[in-house]
């Protein structure tokens, strides 16, 4: 059943189950963000495209309202990421083409390069190998090293704020 529903300042147009989006439809938020694609029980699920009011867009798989599966994100600065996503975060294998023409092909973990990969700088330099996690603390400290289940596991180097790297 096709229907138009106005809720929370946004407008949904498409298939519904009861009074919630289910099937194919579009939703436009009051801030200008726009989604067109599949819905399941009121959440973006399946295939679709979302364009945020900032100009950044994503086209690909969704699950439970999250970017989840395989998809392409195009940022306002012209950079693109094509690859795997888990719960809105780049995770798995992906290729990022940066706005300065650098390219990274390889493994991602929780949104950063981690595991094996190839980074090609626009000047022709290239690194092929393993990447470790890097974490910058709010106070300016850095940790370069291995992470296990989201925690530093001791196989790395911590640089306190103010110390040269």
4 touches 13 (CB < 8 A): yes
Ranges 90-94, 111-115, 131-135, 147-151: which has the least confidence: 147-151
Is this model's pTM higher than 0.85 or not? no
Confidence band of 163 (pLDDT split at 50, 70, 90):
low
Looking only at the bridges linking them, the beta strands covering 89-97 and 57-63 are unpaired
Work out the percent of the chain whose per-residue pLDDT is above 70.
85
Angle at 73 between CA 150 and CA 121, to 5 degrees: 80
pLDDT for res 141: 76
Our CA dihedral for 84, 90, 94, 100, rounded to 10 degrees, sits at: 150
When the pLDDT of each residue in the chain is averaged and rounded to a whole number, the result is 87
**For 2-126, CATH number?**
2.20.110.10
Mean pLDDT, residues 47-71 taken together: 97
pLDDT for res 147: 59
The first and second tokens of residue 108, run together, are: 């991602």
pLDDT for res 115: 85
Concatenated DSSP letters for 64-119?
Answer: TTEEEEEEEEE-TTS-EEEEEEETTEEEEEEEEE-TTS-EEEEEEETTEEEEEEEE
Domain residue spans of the chain: 2-126, 132-165
pLDDT for res 153: 63
Measured distance CA(27)–CA(85) in Å, rounded: 22
Confidence band of 4 (pLDDT split at 50, 70, 90):
confident
Residues in the chain: 165
pLDDT for res 148: 56
Concatenated DSSP letters for 2-13?
Answer: EEEEEETTEEEE
Looking only at the bridges linking them, the beta strands covering 43-51 and 2-7 are unpaired
pLDDT in tens, 77-120: 999 999 999 999 999 999 999 999 999 999 998 888 888 889 88
């Amino acid at each position: 059943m096709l229907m138009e529903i106005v809720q929370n300042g946004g407008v949904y147009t498409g298939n519904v189950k009861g009074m919630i989006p289910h099937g194919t439809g579009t939703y436009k938020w009051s801030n200008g963000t726009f989604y067109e694609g599949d819905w399941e029980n009121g959440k973006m699920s399946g295939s679709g495209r979302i364009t945020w009011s900032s100009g950044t867009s994503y086209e690909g798989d969704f699950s439970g309202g999250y970017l989840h599966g395989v998809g392409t994100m195009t940022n306002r600065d012209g950079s693109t990421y094509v690859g795997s996503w888990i719960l809105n975060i780049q995770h798995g294998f992906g290729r990022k083409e940066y706005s300065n023409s650098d390219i990274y092909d390889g493994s991602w973990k929780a949104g950063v390069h981690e595991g094996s990969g190839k980074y090609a700088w626009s000047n022709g330099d290239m690194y092929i190998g393993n990447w470790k996690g890097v974490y910058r603390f709010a106070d300016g400290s850095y940790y370069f090293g291995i992470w296990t289940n989201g925690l530093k596991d001791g196989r790395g180097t911590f640089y306190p704020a103010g110390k040269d790297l």
